[in-house]
Structure 1
Amino acid sequence: MDPASTRPVTEDGTPPPRTGVWQQLRPLVLRLHFYAGVLVAPFLLVATVSGLLYVWTPQVEQVLYADQLRVPASEGSLPLAEQVRIARAEAPDASVHSVRPATTPEDSTWVLMDLAESGNGARTTVFVDPHAGEVLGVSESYGTSGALPVRTWIDLLHRQLHLGEVGRLYSELAASWLGVVALGGLALWVARRRRGRQRSGRARSVSLHATVGAWVLLGLLFLSATGLTWSQYAGSNISDLRERMSWTTPAASTEVPSASPGVDVGPDAVLASAREAGLDGRVTVDLPSDHTSPYVVTQLERSWPTQADSVAVAQDTGEVVDVVRFEDHPLMAKLSRWGVDAHMGLLFGVPNQLVLTAVCGGLLWVIVLGYRMWWQRRPTRGGAWGLGRPYQRGSFLSLSWPLRVAVVLTCAGVGLALPVLGVSLLVFLVVDVLVGRFSEGARRLRSGSG
């Protein structure tokens, strides 16, 4: 007897649907992975290349801005207050916001100033030779990291393609889908390995695509999660969650008024007090905003081990009035700090940069192989330039009702947490339905004309 004749069939003569959870979900995951890969990959490609450029910007800055950042070593240095006075004379229309004293004898001092016309977080930075008292140059710098123009340009390309707030949607779309595509690919890779290897040309492409993706999986999930913290909508949800759970990063209090308003001991005494409190290495000294507020001194070292202590120093006495130690930060605040710094390639220095380079290189290779696999699925009868076929329709309707409900609830929950992913998924579904109806209508017309 033919074994096939003993297999159960439904009333219409077709095999019954498979009952295993993964057997039901696999066609849906495969179709979603295909569409997300084809449509989101261009955004991932831009984010990966620009991110790879950004990783190495610290070294680029040291080369391009060497004349402003480095000075001949010397034993004696001018008082910090004198260096600030020199910077004020260079930009008399600006107000001094903060000072970053030279850390080594070969470093320049940064005096960060606010101009009325400055925008987008930009500050005018005057670089002063702490030994000779000469102005080395003037440049714009951005953010708490003090990014100089080249790094800022690459950073804005990575974040928003120089398109402002609208452009931020691109990076959020890429970060949101990266984790989904990576996890879907992992599930498909595990199932494929269980079925055994195939030998066709496209099967080899699939195998290499999946293997490289599996090797860089953890890195991709990390980049996706940390990248979302900077995003517009998901990032806002993350910030709200951190605030509700008291996971925010504490800061030194600036609410302690001076006992003698108008008396200012100056930045040299303030820096000395901060050093005595244990704030060594690179620091920034934020000047008071009025005649009673304290100075705030914060460590800037983001490599391991992280040095991010901060102190408030009374401007009339030079005494430390508040101390916030990094070791006392909430655990989630520490993890956020480490995650952001590792995402930027700062946490472990050059090894961190090399790992990110390998992950980005792997992702680029996975994207190239993904498009190659799509090309290899093209119908050969339609000409050499035909497009690859998508995977079969009806994968959602073939699920059991409990799985349908689970899929809908999961998508709704993920969509609420990651709004850009949720909206883009709805767009995918609408486009898929419209394409399906158009294709069905075209088939009916051809059959009717035949």
Structure 2
Amino acid sequence: MKLNNYNRFWRMHFYAALFITPLLITLTLSGIGYLFYTNAENALYDDLFFGDSGKEETFTLEEGISEVNNTYEDYTVSKVIMLDEPYNKRLTLTGNTGDEKYVFLDDNNQIVGDQKAEFTYSNVLRNLHSSLFIGGTLVNYLMELAACWAIFLLLSGIYLTFKGKALQVRNTQNRRQNNKRNHALIGLIITIPMVIIIFTGLPWSAFMGSQINKLGESYPDLGNTEMRYNPPTSDVNEIPWATRSQQEPISEQHEDHRGHAGHHESGARTPNDISNQLSVEEISNRADEEGISRPYSIIYPTDELGVFTVSKGSNSGITGLDVSPYEETTNYFDQYTGDLLGKVDYQNYGVIGKWFTWGIPLHEGHLFGWPNKIINLAVCLGFLTLILLGFMTWLNRKKKGSLSAPIKVSKKLSIGFVSLMVILGLIMPLFGISLILVLILELLLNLMDKRKKEFS
């Protein structure tokens, strides 16, 4: 067997696994926890989701919202989520410092209770999965990079399996060979589903996700529906992926100020006392008239020029709010007249928008119910087993006091190897950038080795 490509792949496979395994374990375990976030939250927050206030007096929805604003003086209601029975209504409040709180109203529109948004089960798991609770661009890039290198590990593992005949059973099979064979076998089984899971999660990533979004904005037929609006950035979880970066239409009363339209924001304080603004209850009635069925969220205008946004998505991340991709819709209502100013449905999305409208709930495990969760769980557990067996195989061959890394080859790079790295680098730009850094590091190490030999 030629050692050129084999050892080069093995060496990269070894070092990649060595450095990113902790991140991969974190991503996988947090992903498993997030698979069941709706089940966990239904049990953990049973009193908030399904309980009642114990008060018999009935409020209108607007009176309930007013009571919430009076009770939580440092917060303002920015979103109202109308869920199906038996869920209570859920209000999102934005504080003076930008923090968020959830408040729940029962059937009488009385306050049941509240919770800090950042400490809910789903948000804790989501923050761990994406940013290790640390946040910031660098950490987000690091988590994305680990996912990209996981793709390389899986693909290079297939090459090593067949090239190294890892599945072959020998007459004198020792523990290391057993671990290696099982490692290779599990890798072959889970590679395709694991690659699908990883790639369907990348639209939310910091680097590749932004590139996909820019592509969708530049070519509306491929990505987002243009609807004659210039799309800014957005961070609202409840807005469907394909429309979350679009700019809202402008309420007719302020048509002259179109350039100052509000965007889909959740961090800004939202005025609830704009003169002549319709009530959320009236907007909810207008949504019903337009045939928008529950569950859906109503997002307040951010200023006098904005509109009410009524939306339902397949990837909201909110217990009780996710719907089928076909049901996704984003509707813009004039805040003064209630007129429907714009509407984007799933059918209006471009190819990219439709693909990720299906891909994200598949990644999160709720596209087709319990079977989706079970399949994702099995793949994730298989991936963890794969990591464990790889580690055990290394320990079995590791010599005391040595890293026992695969030997370095000095032959020139083959066209096949270079082609694969270029293709992966183009598909995953952050992976490509990391490859350049690896190449620079290799060149520096080679230069140091040459100088040592010359000095000797």
Q: TM-score, normalised by structure 2?
A: 0.78
Alignment partner of 1:277 is 2:284: no
Deviation for aligned residue 1:305: 4.8
Structure 2 partner of 1:347: 367
The sequence identity of aligned pairs, in percent, is 23
2:361–2:367 Cα contact (<8 Å) kept: yes
Structure 2 partner of 1:374: 394
* Partners of 1:47 and 1:410 in 2: CA distance: 25
- Pick from 76, 84, 87 the counterpart of residue 107 of structure 1: 87
- Pick from 122, 143, 155 the counterpart of residue 126 of structure 2: 155
AA at the equivalent of 1:176: C
- Larger relative contact order (CA 8 Å, sep ≥ 6): 2
Are residues 281 and 63 of structure 1, via their aligned partners in 2, closer, same or farther at CA, if it must alter by over 3 Å?
A: same
Structure 2 partner of 1:255: 250
- Pick from 111, 114, 117 the counterpart of residue 141 of structure 1: 117
- Pick from 140, 150, 153 the counterpart of residue 168 of structure 1: 140
AA at the equivalent of 2:153: V
* Partners of 1:325 and 1:240 in 2: CA distance: 20
AA at the equivalent of 1:126: V
Are residues 295 and 442 of structure 1, via their aligned partners in 2, closer, same or farther at CA, if it must alter by over 3 Å?
A: closer
Are residues 399 and 92 of structure 1, via their aligned partners in 2, closer, same or farther at CA, if it must alter by over 3 Å?
A: closer
1:303–1:346 Cα contact (<8 Å) kept: no
2:309–2:330 Cα contact (<8 Å) kept: yes
AA at the equivalent of 1:110: R
Deviation for aligned residue 1:325: 1.3
Alignment of 1:23-422 (within 5 A): 25-71=5-51, 78-104=59-85, 106-118=86-98, 122-131=99-108, 133-141=109-117, 149-165=120-136, 166-192=138-164, 196-199=168-171, 200-201=173-174, 202-246=176-220, 247-248=223-224, 249-250=242-243, 253-258=248-253, 262-291=275-304, 293-300=306-313, 301-379=321-399, 385-387=400-402, 389-394=404-409, 397-399=411-413, 403=415, 407-408=417-418, 411=421, 414-415=424-425, 418-422=428-432
AA at the equivalent of 1:208: N
Are residues 313 and 441 of structure 1, via their aligned partners in 2, closer, same or farther at CA, if it must alter by over 3 Å?
A: closer
- Could you tell which deviates more after superposition, 263-272 or 74-83? 74-83
What RMSD in Å do the two structures reach over aligned CA positions?
Answer: 3.4
Are residues 137 and 436 of structure 1, via their aligned partners in 2, closer, same or farther at CA, if it must alter by over 3 Å?
A: same
Are residues 444 and 45 of structure 1, via their aligned partners in 2, closer, same or farther at CA, if it must alter by over 3 Å?
A: farther
Deviation for aligned residue 1:217: 1.0
Structure 1 portions without partners, runs of 5+: 1-16, 143-147, 380-384
1:133-174 Cα deviation digits (max 9, x unpaired): 4311122336xxxxx623222221111112221322331121
* Partners of 2:204 and 2:384 in 1: CA distance: 22
AA at the equivalent of 1:128: L
* Partners of 2:20 and 2:149 in 1: CA distance: 7
Structure 2 portions without partners, runs of 5+: 225-241, 256-273, 314-320
Are residues 388 and 291 of structure 1, via their aligned partners in 2, closer, same or farther at CA, if it must alter by over 3 Å?
A: closer
Are residues 329 and 293 of structure 1, via their aligned partners in 2, closer, same or farther at CA, if it must alter by over 3 Å?
A: same
* Partners of 2:423 and 2:163 in 1: CA distance: 26
1:254–1:296 Cα contact (<8 Å) kept: no
Deviation for aligned residue 1:370: 0.6
AA at the equivalent of 1:394: V
Are residues 101 and 234 of structure 1, via their aligned partners in 2, closer, same or farther at CA, if it must alter by over 3 Å?
A: closer
Q: Pick the structure with greater CA Rg.
A: 1
AA at the equivalent of 1:369: L
Deviation for aligned residue 1:399: 4.4
Deviation for aligned residue 1:181: 0.8
AA at the equivalent of 1:159: S
Deviation for aligned residue 1:358: 0.9
Are residues 228 and 315 of structure 1, via their aligned partners in 2, closer, same or farther at CA, if it must alter by over 3 Å?
A: closer
* Partners of 2:454 and 2:167 in 1: CA distance: 37
* Partners of 1:230 and 1:367 in 2: CA distance: 25
Aligned residues: 406
